[in-house]
């Protein structure tokens, strides 16, 4: 005799007749086959294999059967439930695979499609080039100094020992502001920043001054009424021409690569004594078999700028004790330097603002 069936719930008694088990199984299999997606299958699983499904309830009834009926009922219900579980697993696998395939298709990105992204601009090579030059000197402990582009005639000329009769002061080279007797010019070089610095600081002074300058030049492949210079000024005790040479050699190497040194040719500038023109070792032929070199036109050297030992008259005019201090100065064209460095054939490319030119420099420096 079996004991009391504690699980027995008369309300949920499910008939255990074979045809009803079959019907429940078939209904489950039909519902599984009809589940269109994973969400639907989830509901089917609850309805047909969940705790309150017909087969689960029937299973619970087995214990209440007389022992001789249990085996057969257990087998029948077990098979039916097994078939449902298998069908669920198979359908789940199919729907998952379908889902994955659909996601892959839906999320495909065509990387060849044109984009509507706004093209990123690029900093102008004159900006990045000026910063590079400044960085070379800042790394040596120098400072960057600046001055106005609209400059006092006295600072642009007189303070630099360019007397009233100096040819650079004529209407030929200089842009004068109206009225002409105002004594205000568009600076013709960055050298007035030397004067400004000496007048406002006490030595030792080590400054580099990149900036825009103006001259009444024609606009062609090698000239422009607006161009850029970098001025250097070092004032200290015991400064000599040798310091100048070493500094410019370092500058040249940093700009153009190892082994590019400088050569001095005697020259004249009112603000330096002695003065020199600086040539740069041609970085294309490096002075070897120069006759065929297009960059230096067979010279082995390229003209780079002017330099010299600061004229004591300039020191005195700018309030520096010329007995105690000496100094050197130099001035180079930045545009020219960049033309060499990047093989730019026409100076105008730097001023036309063509973004196709500028962006080629975008990732540089």
Residues lying near ligand DAH in the complex (CB under 6 A) = 189, 191, 231, 269, 271-272, 306-308, 329-331
CB of 272 to ligand DAH, least distance (A): 4
Q: Tokens 């429940």 label which residue?
A: 24
Residue 266 CA to residue 70 CA, distance in Å, equals 120
Shortest Å, Cβ 225 to ligand DAH = 14
Q: Rounded to the nearest whole angstrom, what is the least distance from the CB of residue 241 to ligand DAH in the complex?
A: 11
- Minimum Å gap between C-beta 277 and ligand DAH is 8
Given a contact cutoff of 8 angstroms between Cβ atoms, the answer to whether 266 and 224 are in contact is: no
Beta carbon nearer to ligand DAH, 84 or 255? 255
**Which residue's CB is nearer to ligand DAH, number 130 or number 272?**
272
**Closer to ligand DAH at the Cβ: 41 or 309?**
309
CB of 314 to ligand DAH, least distance (A): 10
By beta-carbon proximity to ligand DAH, the closer residue of 157 and 361 is 157
The residue length of the chain stands at 365
Cβ atoms of 162 and 133 closer than 8 Å = no
Q: Which is nearer to ligand DAH, 216 or 359 (CB)?
A: 216
């Amino acid at each position: 005799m079996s004991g009391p069936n504690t699980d027995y719930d008369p309300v949920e008694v499910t008939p255990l007749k074979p045809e009803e088990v079959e019907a429940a199984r078939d209904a489950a299999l039909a519902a599984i086959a009809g589940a269109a997606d994973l969400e639907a299958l989830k509901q089917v699983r609850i309805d047909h294999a969940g705790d309150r499904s017909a087969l689960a309830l029937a299973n619970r009834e087995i214990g209440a059967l007389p022992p001789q009926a249990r085996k057969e009922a257990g087998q029948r219900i077990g098979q039916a439930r097994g078939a449902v579980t298998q069908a669920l697993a198979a359908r789940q696998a199919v729907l998952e695979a379908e889902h994955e395939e659909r996601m892959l298709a839906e999320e495909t990105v065509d990387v060849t499609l044109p984009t509507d992204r706004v093209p990123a601009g690029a900093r102008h090579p004159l900006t990045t080039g000026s910063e590079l030059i400044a960085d070379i000197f800042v790394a040596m402990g120098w400072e960057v100094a600046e001055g106005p582009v609209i400059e006092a005639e006295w600072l642009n000329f007189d303070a630099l020992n360019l007397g009233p009769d100096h040819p650079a002061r004529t209407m030929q080279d200089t842009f004068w502001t109206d009225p002409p007797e105002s004594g205000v010019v568009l600076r013709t070089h960055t050298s007035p920043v030397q004067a400004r610095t000496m007048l406002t600081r006490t030595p030792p002074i080590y400054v580099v001054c990149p900036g825009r300058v103006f001259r009444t030049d024609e606009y062609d492949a090698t000239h422009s009424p607006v161009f850029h210079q970098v001025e250097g000024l070092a004032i200290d005790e015991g400064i000599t021409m040798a310091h100048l040479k070493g500094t410019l050699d370092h500058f040249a190497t940093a700009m153009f690569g190892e082994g590019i040194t400088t050569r001095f040719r005697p020259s004249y500038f009112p603000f330096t004594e002695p003065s020199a023109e600086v040539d740069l070792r041609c970085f294309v032929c490096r002075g070897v078999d120069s006759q065929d070199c297009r960059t230096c036109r067979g010279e082995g050297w390229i003209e780079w700028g002017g330099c010299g030992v600061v004229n004591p008259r300039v020191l005195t005019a700018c309030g520096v004790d010329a007995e105690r201090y000496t100094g050197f100065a130099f001035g180079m064209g930045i545009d020219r330097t960049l033309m060499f460095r990047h093989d730019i054939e026409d100076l105008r490319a730097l001023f036309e603002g063509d973004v196709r030119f500028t962006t080629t420099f975008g990732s540089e420096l």
